[in-house]
Copies of this chain bind each other. A is one copy, B any other.
Amino acid sequence: MNTFTLHPTLAADCHALGQWRDVRLLLHKDAHVRWFIVVPETDSAEWHELPASLRDQLLTASSVLGVMLKNDDGCDKVNIAAIGNLVPQFHFHVIGRWKNDPYWPGVVWGRSVAGCEYTDEDVRKIAAQALSSLSRGSA
């Protein structure tokens, strides 16, 4: 039985795109940037505490999403991070950045503003693209 529960802040801030192996794939609601959040199903709070199998999945997922952001979405840079100062549940940011996004060249954390939202159709398309990339990339 899977008893993992997503932290309520992540659930509120993000669209749930789906599941890939033992990680949840989220999309931050701020559509100014292409902001994925990967959440391994674990109680570990730190990068260096993740079980090896989950760390491998996280590495694969972050690489596949990074390639997709650069090649398919024309992003100029990929920002990755595990911070967790506010939300203790381990979550890994994989963020596609464009040089004309409103936060460039700064970071997104603490600066995200409202005003650009995904439609339901956008979310469906991005979920299909990302989960398909993960499925292919991990073959």
What residues make up the interface of A, taking CB atoms closer than 8 Å to B?
45-48, 59, 62-64, 66-67, 70, 77-86, 97, 104-107, 109-111
CA A105 to CA B45, docked complex, whole Å:
15
Main secondary structure, interface of A, reads: mixed
CA A62 to CA B46, docked complex, whole Å:
11
Identical chains in the assembly = 2
Cβ of A66 and Cβ of B48 under 8 Å apart?
yes
**Contact A62 to B81, CB < 8 A, known contacts A106-B109, A107-B107:** no
Cβ of A70 and Cβ of B46 under 8 Å apart?
yes
CA A62 to CA B77, docked complex, whole Å:
21
Cβ of B78 and Cβ of A48 under 8 Å apart?
yes
| Residues of the B chain whose Cβ atoms lie less than 8 Å from the Cβ of A66 | 46-48
Cβ of B86 and Cβ of A83 under 8 Å apart?
no
Name the residue on B nearest A85 (C-beta): B105
Q: How far is the CB of A89 from chain B (nearest CB, A)?
A: 13
Give 4 nearest A-B pairs by CB, closest first: A81-B81, A48-B66, A85-B105, A48-B63
Q: How far is the CB of A22 from chain B (nearest CB, A)?
A: 19
